[in-house]
Amino acid sequence: MFVILVYDANEKRVQKFHKACKKYLTWVQNSVFEGEITDAALRLLKDELKEIMDDKEDSILIYKFRTKKYYERESIGVKKPSHEDMFF
Amino acid sequence: MFVILVYDANEKRVQKFHKACKKYLTWVQNSVFEGEITDAALRLLKDELKEIMDDKEDSILIYKFRTKKYYERESIGVKKPSHEDMFF
């Protein structure tokens, strides 16, 4: 399936979220990732994120599609996150 | 068309982003909105957001779909933003 994953995490955990998502999906912008993923891999990713997250503070939203259905992705403003140096 | 809109804005402008998006779309979680919208209305919304945003700091990502194609939206963790009181 194709997924779009958006997280909203406390700054302390943002780097961990980013690292976990990057193992399975393609980074799009800030806290948004997307990509083709199997059910099994998505389960693994969710398990990793649940380990990292504080469910009183953080949230994850996953949109699931049978195939890559969007016809356009438009990006306005900053293309790279301000904390890029943390990751690369 | 159906859109998913995600923004990442400096805290100072989050409330303005939220208010502008709410006029046109349905709030899903934190900085994520979705909904059916016409080309004309999306242009208006983008114009409003461009007025509000600082394009050196903030970013907006818009996924466009011809119809509502996702088959599942899964939400993990906090369902409401911590700054809910600001808005309602």
pLDDT tens-digit readout, B53-65: 998 999 999 999 8
Least confident of A13-22, A64-73, B2-11: A64-73
Going from N- to C-terminal start, the domains of chain A cover 2-72
pLDDT above 80: residue B46: yes
Query: What CATH number has the domain spanning B8-58?
Result: 3.30.70.240
List residues of A whose CB lies inside 8 A of any B CB. Answer: 4, 6, 8, 28-32, 46, 49-50, 53, 55-66, 69-79, 81-82
Residue B26 identity (one-letter amino acid): T
Query: CA of A10: how far to CAs of A1, A31, A40, A53, B23, in Å?
Result: 28, 12, 27, 9, 27
Residues B14/B31, Cβ–Cβ less than 8 Å: yes
Given the candidates 3.40.140.10, 3.40.50.2000, 3.40.50.2300, 3.30.70.240, the CATH classification of the domain at A2-72 is: 3.30.70.240
pLDDT tens-digit readout, B15-44: 999 999 999 999 998 899 999 999 999 999
Residue A7 Cα, gap to closest chain B Cα (Å): 9
